[in-house]
Structure 1
Amino acid sequence: MNLPSAGTEPEIEGLSAVTFSTRDMRRAVHFYQALGFSLLHGGENEAFTSFALGRSFLNLTTETHGPISWWGRVIIYVSDVDAMYRKALAAGITPAFTPRDAPWNERYFHVSDPDGHELSFARPLS
């Protein structure tokens, strides 16, 4: 194991995982599988579930006490925003709006998971 030398500044390398709480693991697992997320660990009858998200992970943990409230948004780059939008519609998921080009040079749309966590599917514009 190579340890950095004292005094070197750490670098941010990327996002490892995002973990969402859910009150209904079965419903949440079905939602993410309908969007094409690959199940790596856990499942609809487990308290903790992980999905592949490129080289990162999206985790779900069962929350049985306290309120679950909106905390922000996860932005997920995809190869084709419009195809992802069509996939969401085909799965019976209603996006907040149709894909649009943003002034910050991305094409994107938003959906909310069954617990209100907002996902933005995006791709940089060429």
Structure 2
Amino acid sequence: MNPNLNSIDIVVADLRAAIDFYARLGLDFTVDPAYPDHAGCDLPNGLHLMLDTEKFRASAHTAGWTRPTGDPRNFLAFQFAAPADVDAKYAELTAAGHTGVQQPWDAFWGMRYATVTDPDGNGIDLYCPLPEPSTDQ
């Protein structure tokens, strides 16, 4: 029997800052009234994205958990409709004070690509497939 991946949980230092960041990417989180250090967001593809505070994660819920250090260990990738949208969102996020890791560029694999970090240092990729080169001559 194969399991079904249906949720991703991101541990955050500041729940409100994380919710505000992801709102800029179109995600609408709801804080759980029974657990104010936990929020969830249902995505259109059936995946559920969760945010848990460090306090919540380090509680008896996951005894012994400590915040990792170093570069981002994971990346969430957000697809846009047009290359200009990648550029605009990168500019918006970095102007709001979020760290730009890679400025927008045309990647060799055929995508407009950029990377920022969320308030907790998680990698956020912004991308869009580049238009196919014209074959008209």
Instruction: Tell me whether the two structures share a fold, i.e. TM-score over 0.5.
Output: yes
**After superposition, what is the alpha-carbon deviation per residue over 1:4-48, rounded to whole angstroms, capped at 9, x for unaligned?**
xxxxxx8x9xx7543211122122122222444323x217x8222
Partners of 2:98 and 2:119 within 8 A in 1: no
Match of 2:88 among 83, 86, 109: 83
RMSD over aligned Cα atoms: 2.7
TM-score, normalised to structure 2, is 0.65
> What does 1:1-126 correspond to in 2, within 5 Å?
16-39=6-29, 41-42=30-31, 46-51=36-41, 53-55=43-45, 56-64=47-55, 65=58, 66-69=66-69, 70-79=72-81, 80-126=85-131
SS of the equivalent of 1:42 reads strand
Report the Cα distance in structure 2 between the residues aligned to 1:52 and 1:87, rounded to whole angstroms: 24
CA pair 18-76 structure 1, distance change in 2 beyond 3 A:
farther
Report the Cα distance in structure 2 between the residues aligned to 1:121 and 1:57, rounded to whole angstroms: 20
Report the Cα distance in structure 2 between the residues aligned to 1:16 and 1:84, rounded to whole angstroms: 27
Give ranges in structure 1 of 5+ residues lacking alignment: 1-9
CA pair 57-73 structure 1, distance change in 2 beyond 3 A:
same
Q: For residue 3 of structure 1, what is the aligned residue in structure 2?
A: none
Report the Cα distance in structure 1 between the residues aligned to 2:112 and 2:128, rounded to whole angstroms: 5
Q: In structure 2, what residue type is equivalent to 1:106?
A: M
Identity %: 31
Give ranges in structure 2 of 5+ residues lacking alignment: 59-65, 132-137
TM-score, normalised to structure 1, is 0.70
Q: Number of residue pairs matched?
A: 113
Structure whose residues are more often helix by fraction: 2
Report the Cα distance in structure 2 between the residues aligned to 1:89 and 1:122, rounded to whole angstroms: 16
Report the Cα distance in structure 2 between the residues aligned to 1:57 and 1:108, rounded to whole angstroms: 24
